[in-house]
Amino acid sequence: MTEDLLCVENLKKYFNAQESAVIRSKSKVKAVDDISFTVKKGSVFALVGESGCGKSTTARLILKLIQPTGGKVYFEGKDLYSLSSSELVKTRRDIQMIFQDPYSSLNPRWSVEQILSEPLDTHRIGTRAERKKMVKDILEIVGLKEEDCQKYPHEFSGGQRQRIGIARALITHPKFVICDEPISALDVSIQAQIINLLKDLQKELNLTYLFITHDLRIVQFLCDMVGVMYLGKIVEIGSTEAIFKNPRHPYSQALFSAIPQPDPFKVKEEVTLEGDVPSPLNPPSGCRFHTRCQFAMPICSEEEPLLKIVDENHKCACHLL
């Protein structure tokens, strides 16, 4: 059986609501509210959902870029939140992130060589000559050339910049990579190249990914497991195959019904979601989806549904089950 590389347990992040001169509030924005999942070594786990559902906050919590309100994150069995700062820096070598925006995530004043050498300097990896070689090698791996070393980010296209971002994430030979919407800022014409590159690298380097996206076609192509998030909660979780074949939560059903069909003769009924996502400052009581759910019953606004096993490798939180 494949071992768990990352284990997230009851993770929570509540932000204080911004106070204005008019409104003095002690309310909390529950960006991530008690979520749990595990990521197996060598697999790709997708977190999906609409903007603001808590996917990117989860990524930042795993990296400890922000402090959690509660819960635990274990990496290779180590509790990341109890590590000393020096142990945390050491562990960060194994956990890297590819950012959404290749335009703002690269320092415009640094050459590619400086950008790629920085993680090696931070983790004191290799001699000067070895670092040069590592930079050259990783550029080749992501499809760029040695001559690109002395260039600056503005000299590259969006797709090439994202290749630099990928190279920076991979140069320390991490075990776990968080890909936070890595293609959403790119032209459609180059999105497929970057996704293929990420897929090839995952296989070749035996990487484990946490893939954050709202593009379900990519999930189907790349991911082994999926967690569907709505307003800070995981409402459905399971293998990609099980969830794509038979999404059980009404929110997942609406999301998955909107995936474009490659076969124009295969008509699929699209479930339209009514209304906007409610504010996480004051989320609906009970099931947070009840204000938009066509199947809502009285119990849905009173009692929060818990995740229940619906099938092997498949859980869902809905009172209909």
- The residue among 163 and 292 lying less far from ligand SF4, judged by its C-beta, is 292
Structure tokens at 144: 């760029």
- The residue among 144 and 296 lying less far from ligand SF4, judged by its C-beta, is 296
Q: Does 231 bind ligand SF4 (CB under 6 A)?
A: no
Q: Is 57 helix (H, G, I), strand (E, B) or coil?
A: helix
Q: Does 230 bind ligand SF4 (CB under 6 A)?
A: no
Q: Does 306 bind ligand SF4 (CB under 6 A)?
A: no
- The residue among 315 and 319 lying less far from ligand SF4, judged by its C-beta, is 319
Q: Which residues contact 242 (CB under 8 A, 6 or more apart)?
A: 311, 312, 313, 314
- In whole angstroms, the minimum distance from the beta carbon of 48 to ligand SF4 comes to 16
What CA dihedral angle connects 305, 57, 281 and 320, to 10 degrees?
-20
Q: Does 300 bind ligand SF4 (CB under 6 A)?
A: yes
Q: Are 295 and 285 in contact (CB under 8 A)?
A: no
DSSP 76: T
Q: Does 234 bind ligand SF4 (CB under 6 A)?
A: no
- In whole angstroms, the minimum distance from the beta carbon of 235 to ligand SF4 comes to 7
Indicate which single residue of 212, 219, 231, 318 sits in contact with ligand SF4 (rule: CB under 6 A): 318
Buried b (16+ CB within 10 A) or exposed e, 82-114: ebeeeebeebbbbbbbbbbbbeebbeeeebbbe
Q: Does 248 bind ligand SF4 (CB under 6 A)?
A: no
Q: Does 175 bind ligand SF4 (CB under 6 A)?
A: no
Q: Does 320 bind ligand SF4 (CB under 6 A)?
A: yes
d(CA 104, CA 102): 6
Indicate which single residue of 134, 216, 296, 307 sits in contact with ligand SF4 (rule: CB under 6 A): 296
- In whole angstroms, the minimum distance from the beta carbon of 249 to ligand SF4 comes to 6
Site residues for ligand SF4, 258-287, by CB under 6 A, read 287
Structure tokens at 83: 């590590």
- In whole angstroms, the minimum distance from the beta carbon of 304 to ligand SF4 comes to 9
Indicate which single residue of 45, 75, 99, 289 sits in contact with ligand SF4 (rule: CB under 6 A): 289
d(CA 187, CA 311): 38
- The residue among 168 and 319 lying less far from ligand SF4, judged by its C-beta, is 319
List the Cα angle 263/266/270 in 5-degree steps.
Answer: 110
**Number of other CB atoms surrounding residue 312 within 10 Å:** 8
Q: Which residues bind ligand SF4 (CB under 6 A)?
A: 249-250, 287, 289-290, 293, 295-297, 300, 305, 318-320
